[in-house]
Structure 1
């Protein structure tokens, strides 16, 4: 039994090295070259907008309520707030009006807040603009880290390292390169390839099943990019559907249609690697559990698992997009528009395109990855059988 596993591991290592040299290494070198070519240089361009003031942090000392002026709509709480500044000599206590209007943060004594200092000829005035969330965010981050490491152990640590790589590439490469004027779709593809190659091997180890998952993800991601471009063009989507996207497009001169494509590609990657890793691992486990399985048996058995996985993941994608667009859906339904008018609206059509393209990429990922995994496992089994026969004759 022990000899069988030793030979299997050796055959798998040989097959994995062959695949890495023949396919993965050229892909990795091409991705690295593209990263170097597209890597942003210099400072990130800033929008041509005058500074509205300087932000600072503070701690609420007291809150004093007062009657609101008559005839002022959208105001139900007025007064002033005393805030001790977190910076500066003596930690000065300043006074600011209570924030009012829709979306204004409710302020209470003892809370940490963010203030905006507005300069005027008479001196400086302060306005409370938001809560200071640094402390609760740190608590959530620590709880997340402890839970992941406690459950996943070294896999959890490697997952955290992969998360750091993903965040670093998005912040230091993808976003600055797009702001610097590079093609958003090209940057998204190169960034996604770099994330995929680094994170999958870092999280799941340098093995045959991981290599298969990388290939399946790359093929499916390419198909997703092509389908995204066709869908956005056919639906005449501009990518400008709200104030934020319009402001980004106008102030920074970014191609918002390309940014929409980039968002679809990057958003699809997180679900694609989940499906491909699952399929590759499923085929590997099936081959280990039943070495008599050939290509057809491995593909059929793993395909059944993949179909069940896709059915649940598709629902997850739709619910995720619906949850992020829930205020918009409520506004449209409350307006009494017809179903046809709602679905053809650009905002809703954009979310439908995201869901449909991501789903098509996922559907393609299952057979592609399963075929690759079944072929490689069959080759490993042949090598193991040949090795056993050779050992028996010897």
Structure 2
């Protein structure tokens, strides 16, 4: 089969004339101004609201006892387990002294990090049953030596020391992200640190002070999304489109969360952490904390689907610039529907995995499935899944529509547009080149089409992506 060159006379659209280029440039500027006209006021309003809601210097003096704090004369020590044996419990010594029989338990002989001989650390039944304490483990134990009278156990297991494995996993995570995503991955990690700062310095203290939880959660989430999206993905029409879709999804999630918290009577009193918080700060609203948590919990997945959907629209357009608005929206929504299905599963299984012990406990109870799902123990997870999923699903078509409208305006400046007749019926110049010269590399076909004016150059495409 002979080699053929692609020329404008072969059916490709001719290069735009200066008047067309000027008109397309004006359209691009209008689209960018429109995005800025929406997002800049939103950003200003969000910053003003954040300053108004920012926790004051006179924060309430609420403190919660440190679970690792010790009484005078005792200490919390750290050591390395040398061996684990089953023997008479040291705590049974008073019973033995009184003529009774000693109980059997697991004892971990642990060498203190501060130095000295190994001490017998008694393991509680839950840890002993799990069988997780092994030689070489670093543990934290309560040292009651010199305080216990009557021969009781002076050393009691408290917890494992997990600093090293967690730090190693965090370093591995950062290395993998940066290696694969390079600078964008590094920016994403830095953005995550910034998001945690907003959570720790703005949202959590605001909840303790009694700020409106709906506004607090919405304002804090929007601030996080502004920072994370632009910092990780750069300032572009594509990112701005994703941000608009994200803010829309956040607004829907916030409204649904406020309605569900009130209608479903989510009180948040069904766990130990809530009980401890009520005892430490009776004025804190647990239902408000739940409301704020419902908004925050969907941030990551919502950000994922909107930026992916926006990118999908841009990629589809670059593959076929002549695609009509309707067909581009339909094609992107086919991707969006697949994303909706998989992401809904992601949310549900993520919450199910986190609450697995509770699910097992509830499944052993003699009650119906609906009663179990709407019980105080599970209803918060169910509502969180449903609220987050609804906001996620509605954000996808909105993001897709905005992205299509923007890309049709912003993207046209990159090169000539293929006619609708050529797109719908006849094969494109790229397809003809591939069929008539199967042995020619794709790079060569692209270069000839660029030279002939049938396709935009890679420089023009880069400018288009950054548009």
Structure 2 length-normalised TM: 0.72
> Aligned pair 1:367/2:383, yes or no?
no
Gap regions ≥5 residues in structure 2: 1-12, 418-452, 454-467
> Aligned pair 1:46/2:74, yes or no?
no
TM-superposition CA deviations, 1:312-358 (whole Å, max 9, x none) = 10011111111112112211221221223213312222222111111
By how many angstroms is 1:247 displaced?
2.0
The verdict on how the C-alpha distance between 1:287 and 1:114 changes in structure 2, with shifts beyond 3 A counting, is same
Q: Higher RCO, 1 or 2 (CA under 8 Å, sep at least 6)?
A: 2
Give 2:457's aligned residue.
Answer: none
The verdict on how the C-alpha distance between 1:364 and 1:116 changes in structure 2, with shifts beyond 3 A counting, is same
The verdict on how the C-alpha distance between 1:212 and 1:50 changes in structure 2, with shifts beyond 3 A counting, is closer
Q: Distance in 2 between matches of 1:126 and 1:14?
A: 72
Which one of the candidate residues 269, 276, 284 is aligned to 1:240? 269
* Pairing of 1:178-197 with structure 2 (within 5 A): 178-197=207-226
Which one of the candidate residues 315, 318, 339 is aligned to 2:348? 318
* Pairing of 1:305-344 with structure 2 (within 5 A): 305-344=335-374
CA contact (8 A) 1:116 1:127 kept: yes
The verdict on how the C-alpha distance between 1:109 and 1:344 changes in structure 2, with shifts beyond 3 A counting, is closer
Which one of the candidate residues 79, 85, 88 is aligned to 1:59? 79
Secondary structure of the structure 2 residue equivalent to 1:232:
helix
Q: Distance in 2 between matches of 1:12 and 1:151?
A: 36
* Pairing of 1:192-271 with structure 2 (within 5 A): 192-253=221-282, 254-271=284-301
> Aligned pair 1:162/2:191, yes or no?
yes
The verdict on how the C-alpha distance between 1:144 and 1:386 changes in structure 2, with shifts beyond 3 A counting, is closer
Which one of the candidate residues 127, 138, 146 is aligned to 1:112? 138
CA contact (8 A) 2:226 2:243 kept: yes
By how many angstroms is 1:169 displaced?
1.7
By how many angstroms is 1:249 displaced?
3.1
Which one of the candidate residues 31, 38, 47 is aligned to 1:32? 47
CA contact (8 A) 2:305 2:339 kept: yes
Give 1:101's aligned residue.
Answer: 125
> Aligned pair 1:379/2:409, yes or no?
yes
Q: Distance in 2 between matches of 1:183 and 1:119?
A: 49
The verdict on how the C-alpha distance between 1:346 and 1:80 changes in structure 2, with shifts beyond 3 A counting, is closer
The verdict on how the C-alpha distance between 1:103 and 1:82 changes in structure 2, with shifts beyond 3 A counting, is closer
Question: Which range moves more in the overlay, 341-350 or 303-312?
Answer: 341-350
By how many angstroms is 1:61 displaced?
6.0
Gap regions ≥5 residues in structure 1: none
Secondary structure of the structure 2 residue equivalent to 1:102:
helix
Q: Which has the larger radius of gyration?
A: 2
TM-superposition CA deviations, 1:50-83 (whole Å, max 9, x none) = 874176452226447422459x9xx863446344
By how many angstroms is 1:46 displaced?
3.4
Give 1:278's aligned residue.
Answer: 308
The verdict on how the C-alpha distance between 1:178 and 1:103 changes in structure 2, with shifts beyond 3 A counting, is farther
Question: Which range moves more in the overlay, 361-370 or 173-182?
Answer: 173-182
Question: Which range moves more in the overlay, 24-33 or 351-360?
Answer: 24-33
* Pairing of 1:109-188 with structure 2 (within 5 A): 109-117=135-143, 126-188=155-217
TM-superposition CA deviations, 1:89-145 (whole Å, max 9, x none) = xx4667453221224684444332223455986799553311111111111111111
By how many angstroms is 1:260 displaced?
0.9
CA contact (8 A) 2:31 2:410 kept: no
Give 1:295's aligned residue.
Answer: 325
Secondary structure of the structure 2 residue equivalent to 1:186:
helix
Q: Distance in 2 between matches of 1:339 and 1:110?
A: 44
Over aligned residue pairs, what C-alpha RMSD do you find? Answer: 3.4
Q: Distance in 2 between matches of 1:48 and 1:382?
A: 59
By how many angstroms is 1:49 displaced?
4.7
By how many angstroms is 1:382 displaced?
5.8
Q: Distance in 1 between matches of 2:84 and 2:307?
A: 57
CA contact (8 A) 2:203 2:216 kept: yes
The verdict on how the C-alpha distance between 1:36 and 1:126 changes in structure 2, with shifts beyond 3 A counting, is farther
TM-superposition CA deviations, 1:23-63 (whole Å, max 9, x none) = 22222222222222222344674336587417645222644
* Pairing of 1:346-357 with structure 2 (within 5 A): 346-357=376-387
